[in-house]
Amino acid sequence: MITVQLYDTTLRDGAQQEGISLSVEDKLKIVQKLDELGIDLIEGGWPGSNPKDTEFFARAQNLRLTRSTLVAFGSTRHANSRAEEDLNLQALLRAKTRVATIVGKAWDKQVTRVLETTLEENLSMITDSISYLRAKGLRVFFDAEHFFDGYKDNPEYALQVMVTAAKAGAECVVLCDTNGGSLSRQITEAIKAVQKASPVALGIHTHNDAELAVANSLAAVEAGVIQVQGTINGYGERCGNANLCSIIPTLKLKMGIDCITDKQLSKLSDVSRYVSELANMPHCNRLSYVGDDAFTHKGGIHVSGLIKWEDSYQHINPNLVGNRPHVVVSELAGKGSIIFKAKEHGIPVPKGKEIEKVLEQIKLLENQGFQYDVAEASLDLLLRRAQPDYQPPFELVDFIIVVEKRRRPPTRGNQEEPLSEATIKVRVDNKVVHTAAEGDGPVNALDQALRKALLQFYPDLAAVKLIDYKVRILEETAGTASQVRVLIESSDGRENWRTVGSSTNIIEASWLALADSIEYWLTKQAGKA
């Protein structure tokens, strides 16, 4: 049976992505999550390269890992020096890990032009560094940097690097597509050449510059490598590294390689989101397997098929990776989409002509600029309003917004801040409330006035906050008369939801999205009572 070691380098190579800066605490938490996921080897960083990584390895000695082995990363000794005097190698020893990965050059041009040393000295650097660490009792992996580019230019020297590392005692020689430009065919051809030259165990480390990192990693496994390196969510420099969140389920579900258990696999989506949260990066919806859109269905024919047979438009059961199917409704929706969403939201399923009316309304509104696949709260209300007994928690009578510049005294030199004031009338049951409020802008003033009117009836509404507001011009050629779409995201601290409004009047579009936001929350609260 084929076995594959999973090697995660999120904490080093992944952290080289622009915009990512992990604290020591973040790194320790991620290690624990990766251990729960069943990752075999976790590269913690480069000890001695910066104070953060030095502190990390000191604190990591107190971690109690059940599956994973922590790895320290470094490079070969410097040219024309002694291994026992090399500060980088000494830092690796102080990290007190059982495994060290050292990187060395496998491309002759990198040796002569970047390291500015001879090809012979580079081989000595590799031999001395691996031998020294092995003599100190460490297991050693050798990352052959730029191997595939080196093999294309000078295959004899690239293979000599591999043989040298193996003879020096490297447990695994990892072939690196450092620039990320190799094709899968080139990967497998080079691996076969290495296998003929040396029996040492091989690994693969790919980058995604040609959008082939995952494909190249899988091709390498099929060619016989036993270790796959990558990062969670494909984080990494430039276009990123091979994405372990795609590699792991493909190995297990498509290639029959039990690299982790079924229970661990079911945690994959949660781990993906957890790491993106700690990295302070938005979770990419379009990630394979673990993204929110990975099993999202929009086309009416697709949804109809999904209802009848869940495998009709899904390559795996989403539950296997901790994800779930998701149906969105748009002008492409069919009856099946409406039935699915009604059941999902706990709303009575429209029957007969009622479904057709809902579909017609959705298509008409989307033609006017509404977009329900990104505003599920507004869709929820649209389905509820189709029910004959639905009673909204409030109704708009009218509102007036004034933006006036002269009354407010200057506060920024000679610049005056416009004053926005909203006056609103709403009906709750049979009572009409008339209030006014000021705001930082017309939408904020309208929001404040509406809340002021409703809080006396629904005091818990104070928990709801508007957290995002987006405006998109849909018909730029119409100038200031263009149709605009407003998307609002709101939160009560426990749940977030999005609503949509569209109009040629930006204030009306904002009102529609704002009113939906509050009506949705009030309706949900009434359902919980």
Kindly indicate the confidence band of residue 358, based on its pLDDT and cuts at 50, 70 and 90: confident
How large a percentage of the chain has pLDDT more than 70? 92
Q: What is the pLDDT of residues 294-344, one digit of tens each?
A: 988 776 677 677 767 888 889 999 999 999 886 666 545 566 677 776 777
Nearest to 292 by CA among 307, 316, 309, 270: 270
Kindly indicate the confidence band of residue 371, based on its pLDDT and cuts at 50, 70 and 90: confident
- Give backbone dihedrals phi and psi of 398, rounded to 5 degrees, phi first: -170, 165
Classify strands 484-491 and 201-206 as parallel, antiparallel or unpaired: unpaired
Q: What is the pLDDT of residues 254-306, one digit of tens each?
A: 999 999 999 999 999 999 999 999 999 988 989 999 998 898 877 667 767 77
Q: What is the pLDDT of residues 75-89, one digit of tens each?
A: 999 999 999 999 999
CA–CA separation, 214 vs 375, rounded Å? 33
Lowest mean pLDDT among 35-39, 224-228, 413-417, 436-440: 413-417
Q: Give exposure, 243-261, as e/b (b: 16+ Cβ within 10 Å).
A: bbbbbbbbbbbeeebebbe
What average pLDDT does range 421-438 have in this prediction? 94
How large a percentage of the chain has pLDDT more than 90? 73
The pair of three-digit structure tokens given for residue 221, joined into one six-digit string? 């496994």
370 or 529, higher pLDDT: 370
pLDDT at residue number 142? 98
Q: Domains of the chain, with CATH numbers?
A: 5-278 (3.20.20.70), 296-367 (no CATH), 395-528 (3.30.160.270)
Q: What is the pLDDT of residues 472-515, one digit of tens each?
A: 887 655 555 578 999 999 999 999 999 999 999 999 999 999 99
| Inter-residue long-range contacts of 250-258, CB under 8 Å, 24+ positions, other chains counted | 250/214, 250/218, 251/4, 251/218, 251/221, 253/316, 253/320, 255/2, 255/218, 255/221, 255/222, 256/2, 257/2, 257/3, 257/4, 257/221, 258/1
pLDDT at residue number 169? 98
**Radius of gyration, CA atoms only, the chain:** 30
Question: Which of 101-115, 370-384, 426-440, 480-494: highest mean pLDDT?
Answer: 101-115
Task: For residue 370, give Cα distances in angstroms to 378, 488, 500, 504.
Answer: 10, 12, 6, 12
Predicted TM-score (pTM) of this structure: 0.75
Q: What is the dihedral of CA 299, 305, 307, 309, to 10 degrees?
A: -140
What average pLDDT does range 417-428 have in this prediction? 90
Kindly indicate the confidence band of residue 368, based on its pLDDT and cuts at 50, 70 and 90: confident
pLDDT at residue number 270? 95
* Segments in 116-226 forming alpha helices (H): 119-135, 147-153, 155-168, 184-197, 213-223
Q: What is the pLDDT of residues 377-416, one digit of tens each?
A: 998 898 888 888 899 999 999 999 998 876 555 555 555 6
Contact between 230 and 247 (Cβ < 8 Å):
yes
Mean pLDDT, the chain, whole residue set: 91
pLDDT at residue number 332? 54
On the question of pLDDT at 417 being above 60, the answer is: yes
Burial of 227 (0-12, 13-18, 19+ CB in 10 A): buried
pLDDT at residue number 95? 97
pLDDT at residue number 364? 78
Nearest to 419 by CA among 427, 409, 429: 409
- Give backbone dihedrals phi and psi of 370, rounded to 5 degrees, phi first: -70, 155
pLDDT at residue number 309? 80
Residue 243 has what DSSP assignment? B
Residue 415 has what DSSP assignment? B
What average pLDDT does range 156-165 have in this prediction? 98
pLDDT at residue number 445? 93
